[in-house]
Amino acid sequence: MDTAVILCAGLAKRMQGYTQYLPKPLIRVAGREILYRTIKLLDSKGISKFVLVVNEHNREPIENFVRRLGISYEIVLNEHPEKENGYSLYLARNHVNGRFVLTMGDHLYSEEFIEEALKGEGLIVDELALYTDRKEATKVLCKEGKIEKIGKDLKNFNGYDTGFFILDESVFETAERLVKEREKVTLSEIVKEAHIKCTPVSGKFWTDVDTPEDIERAKKALVRASVKGTGDGFISRHLNRKVSLWFSERLVDKLTPNRATWLTFFIGVFSALVALLSPALGGLLYQLSSMLDGIDGEIARASMRTTRFGGYLDSVLDRYTDFLFLSSLALWLKPSQEFLPWVLLAIFGSLMVSYSTERFRGAYCEDAYGVVKELRWLPGKRDERIFFIMLFCLFGWIKALFILLALVTNVRVILTLWLVWKHRGSV
Amino acid sequence: MDTAVILCAGLAKRMQGYTQYLPKPLIRVAGREILYRTIKLLDSKGISKFVLVVNEHNREPIENFVRRLGISYEIVLNEHPEKENGYSLYLARNHVNGRFVLTMGDHLYSEEFIEEALKGEGLIVDELALYTDRKEATKVLCKEGKIEKIGKDLKNFNGYDTGFFILDESVFETAERLVKEREKVTLSEIVKEAHIKCTPVSGKFWTDVDTPEDIERAKKALVRASVKGTGDGFISRHLNRKVSLWFSERLVDKLTPNRATWLTFFIGVFSALVALLSPALGGLLYQLSSMLDGIDGEIARASMRTTRFGGYLDSVLDRYTDFLFLSSLALWLKPSQEFLPWVLLAIFGSLMVSYSTERFRGAYCEDAYGVVKELRWLPGKRDERIFFIMLFCLFGWIKALFILLALVTNVRVILTLWLVWKHRGSV
């Protein structure tokens, strides 16, 4: 199966304000066009040819857009979009061979959804439809793996139409017959007449985009789905992520990930400068930078803009932020010669927590938190360190802070070494 | 091609002292049995079945040995090893199908050799034979890609017999005819009669092991071939490697890589303790630990014992050594509050040189020095830092040392960031 047919010939009646100049498949949701997401995700799963059915209004912008994606595509013009989307499918009949994917240009899917859906057959049906407007969605009644009924106003149904199909050429026989019989043919009609199979895929993110409200909801869902979180500590899970997600939802369309990285870095550097004068105020700013630290990754993943350089830059800058802040505290403290070893051990240990975790990826090409699961529960991660640094700064316990950091971080490194040694056979 | 025939039925006349109890294929060279190397290297290149032709003296130990390797094997007993190795090959005739590898149980090959050889056909011929006793080696005259003459005392020849062949079943016709005609049949006779093809592979490490001197020479060659060196700085290439190789050649049979790692670490920690009292003496010991730092990797690669944990452990311990030594210097210096930033920046920067390089592998799963080649020429690598630390310690310029380190290391990190950014498209 190497071809996907994407229906983009719809007239988008309910999106007047948004789509006056822009066809619906080209609307950006969380920083990326709907069509970009669908094509790039399918492309990454092995689909190599895209057949786009368009209408005469959106043909030019859509063709200009897909040309720049560097994929193999064919454009099919539907000169009668009023004949509905079943007619659009029918027009694609000479562009596919064997099994193919059929999907909608105004539907958004997550990677997890597409992965699951590609294993299925017929219509992919979602029993839960957690992320879409269920009232407006098309309902489906599946019986014994085949579609029995389909329609918006079904009373008795057991799933929702996700707009994602795995079909084969045989569907075109039914399509042809209906097109010859009727003025208008919807996909639902073809699906019902052809008694195509259905495959349940539940709970994964997908949604159709019919109204401006759908866009807002989808944007938030995409940002929230972007949290990786395997390396998140307690503070991150319960505090920092909440703050960073609040910002990411609002900034995902407006800020590039690398700019978010630099912005957070500058707040961190500023917090270190402030700490020279007031550890308490500096500590608060440092915790602020820690809460914002997730934004770059969230925006990058939600807008499909992750780069390996971005992750690399973020890591190196985080190390400088941590170093500068603790150095400022040390300069503020003016440590005696006897206390200097604690300062050095605290600064070094804080860095080594990251080094020992990230050097694992260097050695094993796998995420340390994925392989050595105990690391997730070991205290001393960056989010936790910064939160406690802030607390100790607020209380003015700078000496105690250095002693605590020196101990916790270096013990964590030793435990990391031991845990990696224990798991050395499992990677 | 999935089968290799390994001839192990030779009588090893010239190895009396060594092989009284141990068959020649089981002699350890640089910490690994000859047979282990051949089998594991071929296995890693896709050979999945091994046919071992043995004699009645070495059958038991060889079978016990290969059983523990976890590979698929068949044992063929040659009850008349005095009939020479051509007869041994003949005995393997019912154990192979189609193309197969033929090689000798007393020959050592490097991975590079085997990679090249597997692409060839017929006898693999080395025009240079850099690593073997050329006087004792079998010479070959190849003409138009086929063997014309072969023998130890050839005057007119253009290569050496590496004992490595890519053959097919047709060779057994010649073997059968000769076995029926003659008392003894050498492989050379079969090769000559069958006019098999020859493929030149020159300059890669291989050797036969006939005498104790061959073992010594092979051991040294294997250790020297084990230097990766892409991350080596100037001092490492011209000084440290020479020292570590001298030790590795002598210790490769006696020391495990992880023990070498710990030993070097303890010398490093000891150098830090000494530096508290005498930076000059500490500096000398620190440079000693730096010169010995290559041993673990050299032994590991030469004895086919590299593990990802070994590389991981070595990296983390190196960071602790560097931290402890510079911290000792700082404690010896008793820096003023004004000078403290230089101390902190020097310690942090030294660590960040490694972090910024190794985090690259974490992000890109590739060696930074392989992708960002400019990094090789950037000063500030560990071997260079330690050498200069020793020099400055000898002269007593500790303050100047911290300032220099603070500048060089942090500038290097910034340049690394910039270079990685420049190369971000090429990985």
ipTM of the complex: 0.86
Query: Pick the residue with more confidence: B103 or A128?
Result: B103
Mean predicted confidence (pLDDT) in B114-134: 91
Written as six digits, the tokens of B395 are 């002269």
* Cβ contacts of A362 on chain B, cutoff 8 Å: 312, 315, 358-362
A417, closest residue in chain B (CA to CA): B313
Q: Which residues contact A367 (CB under 8 A, 6 or more apart)?
A: A230, A231, A361
CA distances from B101 to B51, B97, B417 (A): 10, 11, 48
CA distances from A14 to A18, A152, A164, A212, A421 (A): 9, 16, 21, 9, 59
Strand-pair category, A122-126 with B3-8: unpaired
| Cα–Cα dist A328/A338, whole Å | 19
Q: Which fold has domain A228-426?
A: Four Helix Bundle (Hemerythrin (Met), subunit A) (1.20.120)
pLDDT of residue B69: 93
| DSSP code at position B155 | S
Rg for chain A, CA atoms, rounded = 27
Per the CB < 8 A criterion, the answer to whether B363 and A312 are in contact is yes
* Cβ contacts of A337 on chain B, cutoff 8 Å: 331, 334
B323 close contact with A: CB closer than 8 A? yes
Q: Which of B320, B352, B363 sits opposite A312 (nearest CB)?
A: B363
Domain extents for chain B?
Answer: 3-222, 226-426
* Cβ contacts of A402 on chain B, cutoff 8 Å: none
Q: Which of B309, B334, B358 sits opposite A337 (nearest CB)?
A: B334
In the block, tokens 């499909």 appear at A304
pLDDT of residue B22: 82
| Tens of each residue's pLDDT in chain A, 427 residues | 899 999 999 876 655 555 566 888 999 999 999 999 999 999 999 999 999 999 998 999 999 999 999 899 999 999 999 999 999 999 999 999 999 999 999 999 998 899 999 999 999 999 888 888 888 889 999 998 899 899 888 889 999 999 999 999 999 999 999 999 999 999 999 999 998 999 999 888 999 888 888 889 899 989 988 887 677 888 999 999 999 999 999 999 999 999 999 999 999 999 999 999 999 999 999 999 999 999 999 999 999 999 989 999 999 999 999 999 999 999 999 999 999 999 999 999 999 999 999 899 888 888 888 888 888 888 889 999 999 999 999 999 999 999 999 999 999 999 999 999 998 876 6
pLDDT of residue B17: 57
Q: Which of B319, B337, B359 sits opposite A315 (nearest CB)?
A: B359
Assign domain A3-222 to its CATH architecture. Alpha-Beta Complex (3.90)
pLDDT of residue B424: 83
Q: Which of A313, A351, A365 sits opposite B351 (nearest CB)?
A: A351
CB contact under 8 A, B413 and A360: no
User: Burial code of B318-333, b = ≥16 C-beta within 10 A, e = fewer?
Assistant: bbbbbbbbbbbbbbbb
Banded pLDDT at B134 (limits 50, 70, 90) = confident
Closest CA to B267 of B295, B239, B301, B229: B295
* Cβ contacts of B313 on chain A, cutoff 8 Å: 417, 421
B305 close contact with A: CB closer than 8 A? no
Banded pLDDT at B362 (limits 50, 70, 90) = confident
| Cα–Cα dist B368/B376, whole Å | 9
The whole-angstrom distance between B358's CA and the closest CA on chain A is: 6
Question: What is the sign of the dihedral through the CA atoms of B115, B120, B124 and B127?
Answer: negative
Banded pLDDT at B396 (limits 50, 70, 90) = very high
What CATH code is assigned to B226-426? Answer: 1.20.120.1760
A354 close contact with B: CB closer than 8 A? yes
A337 close contact with B: CB closer than 8 A? yes
CB contact under 8 A, A330 and B312: no
Mean predicted confidence (pLDDT) in B384-390: 96
* Cβ contacts of B320 on chain A, cutoff 8 Å: 352
pLDDT of residue A198: 93
Q: If you average pLDDT over every residue of chain B, what do you get?
A: 92
pLDDT of residue A426: 67
Q: Virtual CA dihedral for A195, A197, A200, A206, nearest 10 degrees?
A: -80
CB contact under 8 A, A354 and B358: no
